[in-house]
Structure 1
Amino acid sequence: MLRELSINDFTKVLGEGKPTPGGGAAAALSASLAAALTSMVFNLTIDKKVSKDYPESVVHAMKEARERTDAFREKYLKLMQEDASAFDELMDAFSMAKTTDEEKSLRKEAIDHSKVKVLEIPKELVQESFAMYDALKIATEFGNKNAISDAGVAAILIHSAIEGAALNVFINLAGSEVNDENIRMKEETDDIVEKSKNLKEDIVAVVIDKIYGRQ
């Protein structure tokens, strides 16, 4: 399991000349790091002196957001493993025997099935990563100012994850037939990447203003 590797071992495996883990797994790890950083900001704020004057509604919103970021961290790690496993399955499908008509049919069926998974996982990562922005905005607005730079790093990492996963969507779409569903998927992914870019820039701008006391 990739998630059980140490950071040192994971980066070594990532750098080896093997198809997996690759960019998809790295993007998922980036998302998980973003979620962990956001949880850290909440943990340095909730039940601390800095939040003593916050209304109960704000504290409640932060606690709910923290639960979501903790769940996101686990979700992204799950997708990290699924991304690598799906591509391994596709490679196994391509290596299946293709001598007889029956073997060719079974091989094609396995390839088609694996291609769907290889495309769906980065698509899910794009969507699930974008969903974390709501919690990140709460952390940026109300989080401990001594940890506000960590919210900025989280925004950069979550956008990086979205862009990375989007590239995996695009490369898989490039090898698929052109149809309405795939065109729509490309357009929807483009839209999320653009929205993420704007949100990331907004959050980083707020973080910088808070660092320099302009907010």
Structure 2
Amino acid sequence: MLRELTINDFTSVLGEGKATPGGGAAAALSASLAAALTSMVFNLTIDKKAAKDYPESVVTSMKEAREATDRFRNRYLKLMVDDAESFDGLMAAFSLPKETEEEKAQRKSSIDSAKERVLEIPYQLVKESFEMYDALKIATEYGNKNAISDAGVAAILIHSAIEGAALNVFINLAGSEVNEENISLKAQTDDYVEKSKSFKEDIVATVIDKIYGRQ
């Protein structure tokens, strides 16, 4: 199972030239790394000297955000596996026999279902990665300044995950029927990418200001 591989083994498998794992799984891993880094920032802040002057409401917000990042980390790893499995499922559907009319109908139904799944997973990753920004903003504003660069790296990674997953949405849409639903899906994905880019740039700018004592 992908999530049980060592880093060395995962990158080796990723580079083998097989269809899976691919960019979608790599994007999901990027999101999981972003969640882990954000959690690290909270763990270096909560119950530490860095948070001693914070009001209880801020500490509570950080604790809730930390819990969210832990959930996200595991969810993104699941989506990493789902992405690879969904594409494997599509390839299996294309390999089904098509000698009889009944087989052709069954094959088409399987391919259609598999295509829906292959499109659904990266879009889920786009949406759920975007949800990380709430926690990231809290980490950037209140996180231990000695770890603030890690919040910036997390922002870069989560945006990378969103852009990467979006590319998978687009390539799957390119091979799908042009209809209102798919047009809407493309527009929604574009919107997530643009908003993510803005959020990422704001967080990185804030991090740089804090590094140089401008905030």
Normalising by the smaller structure, the TM-score range is: over 0.9
Poorly superposed stretches of 4+, deviation over 2 Å? none
- Partner of 2:194 in structure 1? 194
Deviation at 1:17, TM superposition (A): 1.4
What is the CA–CA distance in structure 2 between the aligned matches of 1:182 and 1:159, rounded to whole Å? 23
- Partner of 2:165 in structure 1? 165
Residues 24-173 of structure 1: pairs in structure 2 closer than 5 A? 24-173=24-173
What is the CA–CA distance in structure 2 between the aligned matches of 1:170 and 1:146, rounded to whole Å? 39
* TM-score of the pair, normalised by structure 1: 1.00
Q: Deviations over 1:135-158 (max 9, x none)?
A: 000000000000000000000000
Q: How many residues align?
A: 215
The one-letter code sitting in structure 1 at the alignment partner of 2:95 is S
What is the CA–CA distance in structure 2 between the aligned matches of 1:109 and 1:5, rounded to whole Å? 33
The one-letter code sitting in structure 2 at the alignment partner of 1:122 is P
- Partner of 2:11 in structure 1? 11
Deviation at 1:60, TM superposition (A): 0.2
What is the CA–CA distance in structure 1 between the aligned matches of 2:171 and 2:17, rounded to whole Å? 19
The one-letter code sitting in structure 1 at the alignment partner of 2:101 is D
Deviation at 1:36, TM superposition (A): 0.1
Q: Deviations over 1:37-80 (max 9, x none)?
A: 00000000000011011000000000000000000000000000
What is the CA–CA distance in structure 1 between the aligned matches of 2:4 and 2:107, rounded to whole Å? 32
What is the CA–CA distance in structure 1 between the aligned matches of 2:3 and 2:210, rounded to whole Å? 34
What is the CA–CA distance in structure 1 between the aligned matches of 2:57 and 2:70, rounded to whole Å? 20
Q: Deviations over 1:171-198 (max 9, x none)?
A: 0000000000000000000001000000
* TM-score of the pair, normalised by structure 2: 1.00
What is the CA–CA distance in structure 2 between the aligned matches of 1:141 and 1:204, rounded to whole Å? 12
% identical equivalent positions: 80
The one-letter code sitting in structure 2 at the alignment partner of 1:57 is S
What is the CA–CA distance in structure 1 between the aligned matches of 2:140 and 2:161, rounded to whole Å? 19
Deviation at 1:23, TM superposition (A): 0.2
What is the CA–CA distance in structure 1 between the aligned matches of 2:206 and 2:53, rounded to whole Å? 21
- Partner of 1:175 in structure 2? 175
What is the CA–CA distance in structure 2 between the aligned matches of 1:17 and 1:164, rounded to whole Å? 18
What is the CA–CA distance in structure 2 between the aligned matches of 1:62 and 1:17, rounded to whole Å? 42
- Partner of 1:22 in structure 2? 22
